[in-house]
Amino acid sequence: MFKLVVSDLDGTFLNSEGAFDRTRFSKVYEEMKHLGIAFAACTGKQCERVEELFEGFEGIWILGDSATRIKRDGEVVQEFALARDLALRSIERIEAFDPNLVVIACTGRAAYVSERISDEHYALVKRSYREVLKTAAFDAIPGEFVKVTVYDDEGRSAELRRRVEEELAGRLYIVDSEPRWLDITALGTHKGETVKRLQERLGVTREETISFGDGENDVELMEIAEFSFAMSNGCENTRAAAAFVAKSNDEDGVLLTIEKMMRLQNRMQAW
């Protein structure tokens, strides 16, 4: 029996327009709750933005801000801090590489961007972050950091990762989730580890977990579930790490697979 479904959002659960079939999900989610199956959205998006996406659906676990924060029904369950000095040093390396990159420095309160950000890039950030504040200097941001994310129009995230690692390798978790996006979190803080913490909290095993993902930062999601599904539109490394391949995000691959898995589970219980 499976008791937990964990899904990435962009490129996985959400279609190319950044939306999902709410009517279909409502039916699937109601059956999941009836069967005692929990649903978790594990994503780089800010938790508060995910709450907007799933407005009206109660009980969803949100592993947001690149799995550095856990929320459920509006309550913060846990946050994983990124040491302030490491966050600021990583930003220094990023700006030395290219001062025009879009840096998003996140705390549990908000996502901070430079006051020099263009309107176009600000709109891009707002698609994934609800609470966004502008700052004159990143070292003026109050409180603890949870992550630093970088967007690069030129798609140089792999090169940027190497530049940051030249000084800070082994002290941070750094992943170039796709050519234009780079995420930096505390060492050992990533989607796979945060899902393990949720599994422990819920008393759910790897064998009772289903996971879905598409990007480089979803490889760990493939490792924490017996039934791991890479989307057919996913990257090569994630497909290689997955046990199975699901239909694409534009074909409702996640919901289609959950429906089939619940039917299979119901039949097995009826035997």
Distance (Å, rounded) from C-alpha 157 to C-alpha 109?
26
CATH value at residue 15 = 3.40.50.1000
Q: 196 and 72 share a domain?
A: yes
Q: 196 and 182 share a domain?
A: no
Q: 94 and 74 share a domain?
A: no
Q: 91 and 169 share a domain?
A: yes
Distance (Å, rounded) from C-alpha 173 to C-alpha 227?
25
Distance (Å, rounded) from C-alpha 159 to C-alpha 156?
5
Q: What is the pLDDT of residues 176-224, one digit of tens each?
A: 988 999 999 999 999 999 999 999 999 999 999 999 999 999 999 999 9
Distance (Å, rounded) from C-alpha 254 to C-alpha 231?
8
Q: Dump the DSSP string for 27-40.
A: HHHHHHHHTT-EEE
Residue at which a domain ends, from 164, 186, 208: 186
- At residue 1 the predicted structure's pLDDT band, cuts being 50, 70 and 90, is confident
Residue at which a domain ends, from 186, 216, 237: 186
Q: Is 217:175 a contact under the CB 8 Å cutoff?
A: yes
Q: 29 and 44 share a domain?
A: yes
Q: 67 and 111 share a domain?
A: no
Range of the domain at 202: 4-79+190-270
Q: 62 and 9 share a domain?
A: yes
- pLDDT at residue 271, rounded to an integer: 64
Q: Tokens standing for 240?
A: 């290689």
| Number of domains within the chain | 2
User: Span 156-184, mean pLDDT?
Assistant: 95
Q: What is the pLDDT of residues 70-124, one digit of tens each?
A: 999 999 999 999 999 999 999 999 999 999 999 999 999 999 999 999 999 999 9
Q: 72 and 154 share a domain?
A: no
Phi, psi dihedral angles at 237 (to 5 degrees):
-65, -40
CATH value at residue 110 = 3.30.1240.10
Q: 173 and 89 share a domain?
A: yes
Which residues make Cβ contacts (< 8 Å) with residue 244, sequence separation at least 6? Answer: 227, 228, 229, 230
Q: 195 and 72 share a domain?
A: yes
**Kind plus residue range of the DSSP H or E element containing 236:** helix 236-241
Q: 9 and 65 share a domain?
A: yes
Residue at which a domain ends, from 131, 154, 186: 186
Q: 194 and 239 share a domain?
A: yes
Return the number of other C-beta atoms located less than 10 Å from residue 62's C-beta: 27
